[in-house]
Amino acid sequence: MKRNATRRRQEHALFAGYREWLGALPATCVVSGQPAVDLAHIRNHTGAAMKPPPWHCLPMAREYHDRQETMGLEFFTAIGIANPIREAEELFAIYNTRDLISAAEWASARLLAIRAQVVPEKLQLLMEGE
């Protein structure tokens, strides 16, 4: 489906609700578990001028979000997350169940599963290499 201006406006409204919902969850950063997060668009599969759709986002603390923006998919590979796009799509699918109260527990478990893939030593080396 082509992402024209109308479609992007619809995505923006959906994204706002998704961001609010994720922000209400405890310990949401997929890298560190920090509660204060941004939704990081997973890049490398769209042009530089257009952000990927909301379902290709993962919650991340600002320091990791900034690093991921410069590295793209290599960031996730470097720290041990094998398929960030699939992980993001699964998390977004949980949000789309529309039963947001019970989905919060499911999402928290999903975030923990994603975070369990992170190799702390690799993350430390990556962040020290700034």
The predicted model scores a pTM of 0.78
Please give the angle made by the CA atoms of 71, 53 and 36, to the nearest 5 degrees. Answer: 65
How far is residue 117's CA from residue 24's CA, in Å, rounded to a whole number?
23
How far is residue 83's CA from residue 77's CA, in Å, rounded to a whole number?
8
How far is residue 83's CA from residue 103's CA, in Å, rounded to a whole number?
22
Cβ proximity of 114 and 81 under 8 Å: yes
- Average pLDDT of the chain is 82
Q: What is the residue whose two structure tokens read 């603390």?
A: 61
pLDDT in tens, the chain (130 residues): 566 778 777 777 777 888 787 777 776 889 988 876 788 888 775 455 667 777 888 899 999 998 888 888 899 999 999 999 999 999 888 888 767 667 888 888 888 899 999 999 999 988 887 5
